[in-house]
């Protein structure tokens, strides 16, 4: 693909290049040829919520041959966040003197505490419901807003709900290293993806042949952390988020599959390096260490989450408030009755195969976690109509 390469070196950071219809057309031809040569159905998976969002926004699945499918894997931080952390945030927000500061996407996610007075079914409480019941819940854009909030309100305890992957936890680490007010603590709900990708191939019926690696997270972690996957027979390619990026990753995966030589390639090389961002990783690992973590609806996976190291335990909300919480209420069934988010998250079913999709579960009243964030698979499918069999246009 010399044209793509040339365009990249000429205009490395102009996003318009990566939306260019001519480059997209060239990639489609290349993908179609590879699919013809492979001559059997191929399933690929991305593991980043933003990929699903962009695939929906540009309707990129329309551009692929019928034999090539791209499924959404466990890549939405809102969806995989275990309900223990959501329940913890809800309980804390209802404590006198405590403010919970959270990213906007986490506010509507149901945990496992039943919502009293609800008659529609097994509806669970979210942080928004906690706010409606008098809890102090604020939406913030970053952890630095939470810090400002703590400084401005020294008489209150401010708890930052630190959810997400490396893109959010690095900022938290940087802030903690530089010192925070005594009245600020964090809910440790940050996830590390590579161990989850090792688990997936062990699941019964797993037939994914290639992963599009999450472009934002691997900018920090680097690609080396995925180099165990080719040995399991899985092709890997880093994935950016513009249409040209996504299709270039698909093409790279198909090339590996066609050649029968899975490896880890880097089509998103303008931002991603093999070793990642050394400085960010250094700060991250000084403050956090990898620990076992529950992925909602999937399993507890060893070394798949970030927990504070001992010198930073003072900033752990779970430790600080341990005596004031009801530990039993933190546990609970992962998903409400009838919700199939677990299977959606693993790419085992499409969102519209779930019985509550679009009926009990809609973006304005999400029943399960995948319908909440714009990065959630169900939400993206609903918003962009990906469940509609045909958007064929007839003029008159």
Partner 1 sequence: MSNSSEATLAPPRGRSTSRYDTVRLAHGSGGKLTLELIEELFVATFSNEPLRELTDAAILANPGGRIAFATDSHTVKPAFFPGGDIGRLAVAGTINDLAVMGARPAYLSAAFLLEEGYDMEELERVVRSMKATADEAGVAIVAGDTKVLERGHGDGIFINTTGVGFLPDHVELGVAHVRPGDKVLVNGTLGDHGIAVMSRREGLDLAVELVSDVAPLNGLIDAVMQAAPGVRFMRDVTRGGLAAVANEVVLRQPFGLRVFDVAVPVHELVEQYSEMLGIDPMLSANEGKVLIIVAPEQAEAALGAMKAHPLGREAAIIGDIVRKPEGVALVETAYGSRRVLEMPIEEQLPRIC
Comparing CB distances to partner 1, the nearer of 77 and 239 is: 77
Asked whether position 168 contacts partner 1 by CB under 8 A, the answer is yes
Between 28 and 228, CB nearer to partner 1? 28
Based on CB atoms, which residue is closest to partner 1, 95 or 167? 167
Of 62 and 310, which has the nearer Cβ to partner 1?
A: 62
Residue 392 near partner 1 by CB under 8 A: yes
Q: Which residues contact 186 (CB under 8 A, 6 or more apart)?
A: 143, 159, 160, 161, 162, 172, 176, 308, 315, 316, 317
Nearer to partner 1, 235 or 341 (CB): 341
- The rounded Cα 311 to chain-centroid distance in angstroms is 28
- Report how far residue 219's alpha carbon sits from residue 239's, in angstroms, rounded to the nearest whole number: 10
Question: What Cα–Cα distance (Å) separates residue 374 from each residue in 49, 57, 156, 186, 208?
Answer: 8, 11, 31, 24, 24
Cα–Cα distance, 342 to 8 (Å, whole number): 38
In whole angstroms, the minimum distance from the beta carbon of 87 to partner 1 comes to 19
Q: Does residue 113 contact residue 124 with C-beta atoms inside 8 Å?
A: yes
Q: Among residues 19 and 156, whose Cβ is nearest to partner 1?
A: 19
CA dihedral 38, 40, 41, 45 (to 10 degrees): -30
Query: Which one of 113, 163, 218, 318 is in contact with partner 1 (CB under 8 A)?
Result: 163
Q: Determine, following the binding rule CB under 8 A, whether residue 167 of this chain makes contact with partner 1.
A: yes
| Beta carbon nearer to partner 1, 43 or 57 | 57
Q: How far is the CB of 191 from partner 1 (least distance, A)?
A: 12
141 binds partner 1 (CB under 8 A): yes
- Provide the minimum distance between the beta carbon of 230 and partner 1 in the complex, in angstroms, as a whole number: 26
Closest distance between partner 1 and the C-beta of residue 248, in Å?
14
328 CB-near residues (< 8 Å, 6+ apart): none
| Residue-by-residue DSSP string for 181-193 | -TTEEEEEEEE--
Give min distance, CB of 48 to partner 1, in A: 8
Q: Is 388 exposed, middle or buried (0-12, 13-18, 19+ CB in 10 A)?
A: exposed
**Distance spanning both ends of the chain, measured CA to CA:** 40
- 33, 43, 57, 281: which one contacts partner 1 (CB under 8 A)? 57
Is residue 85 within the footprint of partner 1 (CB under 8 A)? no
What does each C-alpha distance from 369 to 142, 230, 268, 305 come to in angstroms?
A: 21, 31, 29, 19
* Residue 25 lies near partner 1 (rule: CB under 8 A): yes
Q: Which of 103, 288, 312, 321 binds partner 1 (CB under 8 A)?
A: 103
Residue 17 makes contact with partner 1 by CB under 8 A: no
Q: Which of 18, 85, 160, 165 binds partner 1 (CB under 8 A)?
A: 165
220: contact with partner 1 by CB under 8 A: no
Whether the CB-CB separation of 160 and 274 falls below 8 Å is answered with no
Q: Is residue 24 a contact point for partner 1 (CB under 8 A)?
A: yes
Question: Does residue 180 bind partner 1 (CB under 8 A)?
Answer: no
- H or E stretch including 345? helix 341-345
What radius of gyration, in Å, describes the C-alpha atoms of the chain? 22
Residues near partner 1, by CB under 8 A: 15, 19, 21, 24-25, 28, 49-50, 56-60, 62-63, 77-78, 103-106, 139-141, 145, 148, 163-165, 167-168, 216, 243, 363-364, 373-375, 383-386, 388, 390-396
């Amino acid at each position: 693909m010399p044209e793509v390469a040339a365009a990249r070196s000429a205009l490395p950071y102009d996003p318009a290049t990566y939306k260019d219809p001519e480059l997209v057309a060239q990639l489609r031809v290349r993908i179609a040829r590879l699919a013809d040569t492979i001559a059997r159905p191929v399933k690929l998976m991305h593991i980043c919520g933003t990929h699903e969002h962009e695939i929906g926004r540009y309707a990129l699945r329309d551009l692929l041959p019928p034999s090539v499918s791209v499924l959404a894997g466990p890549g939405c931080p809102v969806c995989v966040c275990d309900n223990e952390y959501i329940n913890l945030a809800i309980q804390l927000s209802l404590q006198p003197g405590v403010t919970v500061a959270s990213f906007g996407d986490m506010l509507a996610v149901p945990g496992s505490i039943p919502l009293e007075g609800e008659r529609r079914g097994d509806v669970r409480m979210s942080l928004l419901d906690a706010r409606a019941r008098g809890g102090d819940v604020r939406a913030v854009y970053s952890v630095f807003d939470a810090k400002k909030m703590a400084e401005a309100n020294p008489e209150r305890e401010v708890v930052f709900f630190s959810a997400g992957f490396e893109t959010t936890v690095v900022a938290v680490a940087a802030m903690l290293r530089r010192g925070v007010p005594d009245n600020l603590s964090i809910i440790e709900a940050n996830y590390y993806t590579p161990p989850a990708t090792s688990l997936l191939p062990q699941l019964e019926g797993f037939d994914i042949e290639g992963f599009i690696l999450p472009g934002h997270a691997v900018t920090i972690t680097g690609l080396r952390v995925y180099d165990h996957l080719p040995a399991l027979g899985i092709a890997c390619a880093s994935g950016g988020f513009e249409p040209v990026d996504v299709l270039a990753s698909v093409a790279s995966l198909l090339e590996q599959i066609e050649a029968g030589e899975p490896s880890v390639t880097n089509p998103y090389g303008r931002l991603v390096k093999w070793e990642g961002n050394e400085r960010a990783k250094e700060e991250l690992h000084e403050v956090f260490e990898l620990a076992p973590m529950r992925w909602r609806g999937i399993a507890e996976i060893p070394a798949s989450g970030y927990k504070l190291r001992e010198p930073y335990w003072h900033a752990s909300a779970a430790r600080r408030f341990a005596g004031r919480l009801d530990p039993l209420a933190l546990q609970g069934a992962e998903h409400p009755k009838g919700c199939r988010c677990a299977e959606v998250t693993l790419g085992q079913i499409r969102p519209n195969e779930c019985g509550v999709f679009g009926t009990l579960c809609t973006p304005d009243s999400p029943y399960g976690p995948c319908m909440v964030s714009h990065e959630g698979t169900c939400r993206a499918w609903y918003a962009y109509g990906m469940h509609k069999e045909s958007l064929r246009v007839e003029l008159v």
